[in-house]
């Protein structure tokens, strides 16, 4: 038995809250980089007060030349535990820019050396399921077979299932197969970290996520999936010859099937996400006359705890001490 110890995830949520508060000012204004840049600046400042020896393994932004915290960048005070860090200051920059739901700010950490580094890979095929179905699926099985097995594990009929799929041309065949199997579909233009979270969140109506999305997003989502006890099966799925060639030159096996335990090799994982734009998953930032309200999700893998947090921020007081400009 261990005495209760400090939950670093409760410090991480301050980082995602800051990024959400700073970026939400750009909701619907059509400027991808401005919202992302505001979140990056806020996140970088907040990391400076965090007692960790952090190294960014997943720094979202490279594949779309967006503002970013760089892979390999050191974050934290340099004191405290050595951790690998995965971040996405705005997961769903287009969602934020066009005022669409489910843009979120996300951070995950794991002990140093335990987080998968995808190198030059930008895309991976993913299958994400909740804890009850973690042993019921196979990434190489036919779509219908997986859905039948998931439904059985969850005590549902196949036509009760809801499948999260990104609405992309590459998923045309997948969507047809899901419909032929009888399951229902939620199509989303962007946001596959949110999709993976929905698949494992016990409050969500989504039962499974299928399809090809971002590799960095897959590793980031694995922090939450690991903490909750769900499962992700994934395989690198390059979407261009240049990407495929870079992966092969890096000596990475394109045939390897990854799981939550190969993407994150420790149970001591932490995760925090804060809603930016509104949505069914996490409510977005709501500005008030003198502040704002945020809604977040915090996961600690060591205990399996999931916290849903509402925070009321008073800008009149906060701006007297904060170096982050929220107003």
Residue 53 annotated as part of some ligand binding site: no
224-253 burial, b if ≥16 CB within 10 A, otherwise e? bbbbbebbbbbbbbbeeeebbebbeeeeee
Q: What is the DSSP letter of 141?
A: S
- The DSSP-derived string for 236-282 is E--SSHHHHHHHHHTT--TTPPB-HHHHB--S--EEEEEESS--SSS
Q: What angle do CA 297, 301, 305 make, to 5 degrees?
A: 55
Q: Is 205 annotated as a binding residue?
A: no
Q: Is 191 annotated as a binding residue?
A: yes
Query: Is 169 annotated as contributing to ligand binding?
Result: yes
170 is in an annotated binding site: yes
Cβ contact 227:196 at 8 Å: no
**Cβ neighbour number for residue 113 with a 10 Å cutoff:** 13
Q: Is 73 annotated as a binding residue?
A: no
Residue 261 assigned to a binding site: no
- Residue 91 labeled ligand binder: yes
Q: How far is CA 171 from CA 68, 188, 244, 246, in A?
A: 28, 12, 19, 24
Known binder of ligand: residue 192?
yes
Distance CA 75, CA 58 (A): 13
- Residues 6 or more apart whose CB falls under 8 angstroms from that of 51 comprise 11, 76, 77, 79, 80
Binding-site members are 36, 60, 88, 91-93, 123, 168-170, 190-192, 214, 217
Q: Which residues are annotated as a binding site for Mn(2+)?
A: 36, 60, 88, 91, 217
The binding site for substrate consists of 91-93, 123, 168-170, 190-192, 214
């Amino acid at each position: 038995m261990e005495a209760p110890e400090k939950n670093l995830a409760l410090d991480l949520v301050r980082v995602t809250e800051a990024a959400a508060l700073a970026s939400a000012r750009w909701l619907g204004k059509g400027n991808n980089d401005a919202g992302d840049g505001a979140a990056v600046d806020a996140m970088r400042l907040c990391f400076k007060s965090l007692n960790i020896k952090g190294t960014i393994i997943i720094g979202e932004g490279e594949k779309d030349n967006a503002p970013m915290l760089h892979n390999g960048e050191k974050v934290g005070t340099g004191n405290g535990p050595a951790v690998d860090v995965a971040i996405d200051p705005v997961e769903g920059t287009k969602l934020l820019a066009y005022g669409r739901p489910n843009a979120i700010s996300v951070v995950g950490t794991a002990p140093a050396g335990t987080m998968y580094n995808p190198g030059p890979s930008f895309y991976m095929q993913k299958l994400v399921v909740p804890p009850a179905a973690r042993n019921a699926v196979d990434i190489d099985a036919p779509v219908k077979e997986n859905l039948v097995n998931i439904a059985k594990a969850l005590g549902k009929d196949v036509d009760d299932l809801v499948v999260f799929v990104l609405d992309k041309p590459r998923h045309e065949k997948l969507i047809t197969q899901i419909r032929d199997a009888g399951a229902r579909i939620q199509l989303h233009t962007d946001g596959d970290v949110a999709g993976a979270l929905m698949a494992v969140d016990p409050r969500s109506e989504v039962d499974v996520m299928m399809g090809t999305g971002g590799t960095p997003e897959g590793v980031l989502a694995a922090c939450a999936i690991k903490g909750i006890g769900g499962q992700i099966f994934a395989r690198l799925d390059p979407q261009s010859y240049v990407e495929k060639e870079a992966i092969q030159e890096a000596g990475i096996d394109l045939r390897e099937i990854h799981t939550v335990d190969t993407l994150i090799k420790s149970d001591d994982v932490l995760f925090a996400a804060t809603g930016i734009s509104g949505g069914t998953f996490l409510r977005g930032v709501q500005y008030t006359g003198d502040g704002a309200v945020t809604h977040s999700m915090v996961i600690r893998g060591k205990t399996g705890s999931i916290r849903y947090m509402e925070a009321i921020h008073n800008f009149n007081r906060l701006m007297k001490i904060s170096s982050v400009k929220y107003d």
